[in-house]
Structure formats: C-alpha cells, structure tokens
C-alpha cells in the first residue's frame, strides 16, 4: 500500500491537479483528498487502485500502457 506522501508525489510528478486525478482514477474528490491528507476516516488506498493509477500516469515500475488504434483520451 502507498501512503499519503507517495499519493501526492505521484500526482504531482504526473503534473495532475486533484480534479484530473479523481477523473483518471474514478473516485470522489473527497476520497482523493482523504488519501492525500489522511484526515478523518481510515484512508488506506486499495492496491488495485494504485496499480491502475500508476499505469495510467506512466509511473508503474514494471508495465506501461499503449494506445489502441491511435485513440487519445483527455482527462482535462
């Protein structure tokens, strides 16, 4: 599992604002903020969420995604 510093560092390294990250990861903004700030409720991030997020932002240590038939997705 990752901690709140790793979460924020990964997002910033990818050049994403929080609103872009939540769209990319498919979670509510409050959930993402809780993951980064560790406020209130327990905020452990499921490993499958991290795997997908790191793939999408190109920071996965072993794998990378490729575009299918020139498809380009925008998260802005």
For the chain, the structural domain boundaries read: 4-56
Sequence-ordered list of residues with C-beta below 8 angstroms from that of 61, at least 6 positions apart, any chain: 54
Question: Which of 20-24, 50-54, 60-64 has the largest mean confidence?
Answer: 20-24
Q: What is the pLDDT of residues 9-49, one digit of tens each?
A: 888 999 999 999 888 888 899 988 888 886 555 656 777 78
- Please state, in angstroms and rounded to a whole number, the distance separating the CA atoms of residues 55 and 66: 10
């Amino acid at each position: 599992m990752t901690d709140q510093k790793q979460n924020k560092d990964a997002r910033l390294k990818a050049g994403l604002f929080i609103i872009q990250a939540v769209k990319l990861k498919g979670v509510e903004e409050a959930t993402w903020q809780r993951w980064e700030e560790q406020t209130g409720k327990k905020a452990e991030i499921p490993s499958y969420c991290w795997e997908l997020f790191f793939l999408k932002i190109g920071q996965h240590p072993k794998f990378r995604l490729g575009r299918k038939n020139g498809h380009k997705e925008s998260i802005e």
